[in-house]
Amino acid sequence: MPNVVTEEPKLVEALKPQLRSVDELEAAAKESSWSALLNLWGKRHLISLMVQRDFTGRYKGSLLGALWPLLNPLGHMILYTFLFNVILQVRFGKSASSGDFALYLMSGFLPWTAMAESVSSSTTKVLELPNLVKRCVFPLETLPLIVVISSFLSGSIALLLLIAFAGFRQHGIHPTIVFVPMILIPHFLFSAGMSWFLGSLGVFIRDCRHFIALALSAWMYMTPILYPPERMPEHLQFLFWINPMAGIITDYRRVIIEGQFPNFFNYGVYTLISLAVCLAGFHFFHKTKRSFADVV
């Protein structure tokens, strides 16, 4: 594994403010999770450089390059639309149109992909950079965050195209589109919290990435992405309340496709859950990162 720090002069410059004396390093090791979380803002320049490196490195050397963030969801849209709309005759609302089904499908699939991609990648992110783990000057808590931001950048590009497609299909964009950033906040917080938690767990349990791949598949089918919420059996409706992604995806659809306000009660519920997951995930990562060097 190449030494990322020495290969990137810009990263070296960004890391200089992180250099500390021995006493400062000991004090930093004892700082609270809350202080460490607030200190992420001071590392924004380093995070920006690492996100740029991660985002461009994903498709570097591939034949289609930056087109993959668009081609990947497009391929899934065609596959799932054919399977669930044409073969299984699943409908959203009263429309039998494959175009409307594809619109509903992608308004759920794109937010899901941003979360799932960041969570899945975070399980191996620390292990992929052992040189950084053994450098006490590097803020390891930024690694899962970098993955989340990079995944959300790809998702945002695809989401903008979805909004344009919705405007074309519906002959205009609904004014409720202004609520998208409001929904994006808990969406991002939940993804970051899960990534911090699993980013740490993946260091100690190497099988974590395989388990998460299976769990994400099961989780996706328990989330109203490929079917409307009312298709879920009544005795399983409680799953929507303990699944923040169900509320997030439903509200994305409401504001982008249906022209309705978010369900503010549900919004409050999944926002509180997302905030709790974010804080708990960061706290777990912060408390366990001191042992990373012993197992990497």
Write out pLDDT tens, residues 168-222.
878 889 999 999 999 999 999 999 999 999 999 999 998 888 899 999 999 998 8
| Strand, helix or coil for residue 1 | coil
Query: What is the C-alpha separation between 190 and 194, in angstroms, rounded?
Result: 6
Phi, psi (degrees; rounded to nearest 5) at 60:
-65, 130
Is residue 290's pLDDT more than 70? yes
Query: What is the C-alpha separation between 282 and 246, in angstroms, rounded?
Result: 23
Please enumerate in sequence order all residues whose Cβ is within 8 A of that of 271, keeping only pairs 6 or more positions apart, or say none. Answer: 185, 186, 189
Q: Say if residues 43 and 19 touch (Cβ distance below 8 Å).
A: no
Q: Could you report the per-residue pLDDT of 121-135, keeping only the tens digit for each?
A: 999 998 888 887 776
Q: How many of the other CB atoms lie within 10 Å of CB of 42?
A: 11
Q: Could you report the per-residue pLDDT of 242-259, keeping only the tens digit for each?
A: 899 999 999 999 999 999
Q: Say if residues 53 and 8 touch (Cβ distance below 8 Å).
A: yes
Structure tokens at 13: 């410059």
Q: Say if residues 216 and 119 touch (Cβ distance below 8 Å).
A: yes
Q: Is 91 exposed, middle or buried (0-12, 13-18, 19+ CB in 10 A)?
A: middle
Query: What is the C-alpha separation between 50 and 4, in angstroms, rounded?
Result: 10
Phi, psi (degrees; rounded to nearest 5) at 127:
-65, -25
Nearest to residue 143, comparing CAs of 156, 128, 155?
Answer: 128
Is residue 88's pLDDT more than 70? no
Query: What is the C-alpha separation between 289 and 140, in angstroms, rounded?
Result: 7
The pLDDT, as a whole number, for residue 14 is 58
**How far, rounded to the nearest angstrom, does the alpha carbon of residue 129 sit from its chain's CA centroid?**
20
Nearest to residue 15, comparing CAs of 32, 30, 2, 3?
Answer: 3
pLDDT interval class at 38 (50, 70, 90)? confident
Query: What is the C-alpha separation between 122 and 145, in angstroms, rounded?
Result: 9
Q: Say if residues 256 and 163 touch (Cβ distance below 8 Å).
A: yes
Can you give the residue ranges of every domain in the chain?
4-26+40-295
Structure tokens at 124: 């191996």
Phi, psi (degrees; rounded to nearest 5) at 72:
-65, -55
